[in-house]
Amino acid sequence: MAASDERESGWWVYCIVAADRELPGHLSGLSSADPPVLIEEGNVAAIASRVPLDEFGEAPLRANLNDLAWLERTVRAHEAVLDAMLPSGALVPMRVCTIYSDEAQVREMLDARGALFDHVLAGLAGKAEWGMKIVADRARLADHVRTRSEAARALEAEAAGKPAGGAYLARKKIAALTRDESDRLLDEVVREAHARVNRCSEGAVILPAQNRELAGYSGDMVFNGAYLVDDEQSDAVALVIDELRSEYGPLGMAFDLTGPWPAYNFSAPAPPREVRA
Amino acid sequence: MESALQGYGARAPVQSGQPANLADILERVLDKGIVIAGDIQINLLDIELLTIKLRLLVASVDKAREMGIDWWENDPQLTSRAEQLEEENRDLRERLDRLESAVLETGDGDGRE
C-alpha cells in the first residue's frame, strides 16, 4: 500500500463473505500483480483488489466496457475469484465494476450494510445457483409431430387423391396443424421441465434467451432459467436433467445444465425466498 | 443428427476446469449480484452496461418474441400472454385459410365440395 499508488488505483470489490473466511493461495483476480485481499469489517469481509484507474477509472471503463475482448477477460477474472470461494462457503456476488477509491470507502460500505450482508449470507449458506437452458430444433420437433399425428396422416391421405386446389389446401392444413401441435408440445415440455427442476429448488428466476452467436448454439433457446438449489439437492437436479434428456431429446429438445454458480440471481436486493422453517 | 447444443461450451455440473460459456457469465455479472454504488462513478457505468446488455442479450429476445415465445417476460408460472398470442395467431391463420379457400373456389372453380 505505497502512498504513491493511492491516486492511481481503486479497489474492485468481487464479493462479500463472512469475516472468518480465508483466501485460497492461488487467487490472481484482475491483475496478478495485485491479488485479491480480504477487507474485514465486523462480521463480514469484502474480497477486493487494487485496480489501476488508467484502465478502470470512469473514462477508460466507458471504452473498455464496449471492447468484448476486454470485457471477457475482466468478467472471467471476476468470476474466477467467486468460483474459487464458492466451494468453501456462501458469498454475496457484487456486480462487475463496483469500484471504490480507497480502502476506507470499502470499510464504510461494509459497515453500513453489514446487517444486510449477514442476512443474505445466512440465506445462501449451503446453496448455489444452477442454470437450465432448453434449446429446440424446430424442424426435428415438427418431423416428430407430423409422423405421430393421426390427423396429419389422414390429411396426407386426403391430399393424395385430390386435384391441385384441394391438395394445396390439405397441405396448408397439415402445416398449420404441425405448427399448432409443435407449439403446444414445446410449451408443455418447457413447463414440465421447469416444474421438475423447480421442485428441487428454493427459488427460480426466468432469464431472457441468450444471444445465439455469443452462447454458440443453433436452434431456438426456448427457455433459460436460474434456480437456487440446496447443495444436497444438486444431484437430484442433475438426475432430472438426465431424465428430461432421455424423454424429450428424441423430440429435438436439448437441455443444458450449468453450475454451481454463485447466487447471482438470488442475492439482491430483496433477501432470497426462505422456504424452510 | 447433431445435438442442437453440439459444441456448446457448457459448464459441467461438477467443476471440471472447463470454462463457462461467456453468455452465461455475462448475463449474471452485468446486471445481477448486489448492486451498490462504488464511489467511482456508478451512474455512467449503468448506462454503459445497459448498452452492452442491449447488444448482447436483447436481440435474441426480440427474435423469441417474433416466434410468440415470451414466457420469461411474465412470471415464472408462464401463463396468460403466450396463450393469448397463440389464440390470436390461430384466429389469424383460420381467417387466412378461409380467405384462401374462397379465392380458390372462385378462381378455378375447383371447390372442395
Q: How many CB atoms lie within 10 A of CB B39?
A: 15
| Mean pLDDT confidence for A15-43 | 93
Q: Any bridge partners for residue A255, and if so which?
A: A134
The rounded percent of chain A whose pLDDT value lies above 70 is 94
Q: Do A267 and B23 touch (CB under 8 A)?
A: no
Enter the DSSP assignment of B20: P
How sure is the predictor about A65, in pLDDT bands with cuts at 50, 70 and 90?
confident
CA angle B89, A176, B59 (to 5 degrees): 50
Q: What pLDDT score does B97 carry?
A: 77
Per-residue pLDDT tens over the stretch A103-112: 999 999 999 9
Determine contact: B79 vs chain A, CB below 8 A.
no
Nearest one of A123, A105, A82, A80 to A268, comparing CA atoms: A123
**Can you list the alpha helix ranges (DSSP code H) found in chain A?**
53-56, 58-64, 68-85, 103-124, 138-148, 150-160, 164-199, 212-215, 234-248
A159-166: long-range pairs with CB below 8 Å, 24+ = A163/B110, A164/B108, A164/B110, A165/B104, A165/B108, A165/B110, A165/B111, A165/B112, A166/B110, A166/B112
Q: What pLDDT score does B38 carry?
A: 64
Chain B's closest residue to A225, CA to CA, is: B72
State how far residue A152 is from chain B, nearest Cα, in angstroms. 16
Residue type, A130: W
Enter the DSSP assignment of B43: H
How sure is the predictor about B51, in pLDDT bands with cuts at 50, 70 and 90?
low
Determine the 3-state secondary structure of A93 from DSSP: strand
**In chain B, which residues have their Cβ closer than 8 Å to the Cβ of A92?**
33-34
Q: What pLDDT score does A149 carry?
A: 82
Q: Give the separation between CA A63 and CA A117, rounded to whole angstroms.
A: 32
Residue A7 has pLDDT above 80, yes or no: no
| Mean pLDDT confidence for A67-80 | 90
Q: What pLDDT score does B53 carry?
A: 57
Residue type, B40: I
Residue A3 has pLDDT above 50, yes or no: no
Q: What pLDDT score does B47 carry?
A: 52
Q: Give the separation between CA A213 and CA A106, rounded to whole angstroms.
A: 37
Q: What pLDDT score does B28 carry?
A: 87
Q: What pLDDT score does A268 carry?
A: 67
Query: CB-CB: which of A83, A166, A223 is closest to B112?
Result: A166
Q: How many CB atoms lie within 10 A of CB A234?
A: 20
A56-87 CB burial, b ≥16 within 10 A, e <16: bbbeebeebbeeeeebeebbbbbbbbbbbbbe
Determine the 3-state secondary structure of A128 from DSSP: strand
Q: Tell me: ipTM over 0.90.
A: no
State how far residue B102 is from chain A, nearest Cα, in angstroms. 11
**In chain B, which residues have their Cβ closer than 8 Å to the Cβ of A15?**
33
Nearest one of A187, A186, A213, A209 to A256, comparing CA atoms: A209
Query: CB-CB: which of A166, A234, A264 is closest to B33?
Result: A264
Lowest model confidence (mean pLDDT) among A11-25, A62-76, A246-260? A62-76
What is the CB-side half-sphere exposure of residue A23 using CA atoms within 13 A? 22
Residue type, A109: M
**In chain A, which residues have their Cβ closer than 8 Å to the Cβ of B108?**
164-165
**In chain B, which residues have their Cβ closer than 8 Å to the Cβ of A53?**
40
Q: What pLDDT score does A80 carry?
A: 95
What the block records as the C-alpha cell of B109 is 372453380
Considering only residues A203 and B48, tell me which one the structure prediction assigns the higher pLDDT: A203
Q: Do A96 and B100 touch (CB under 8 A)?
A: no
pTM over 0.80: no
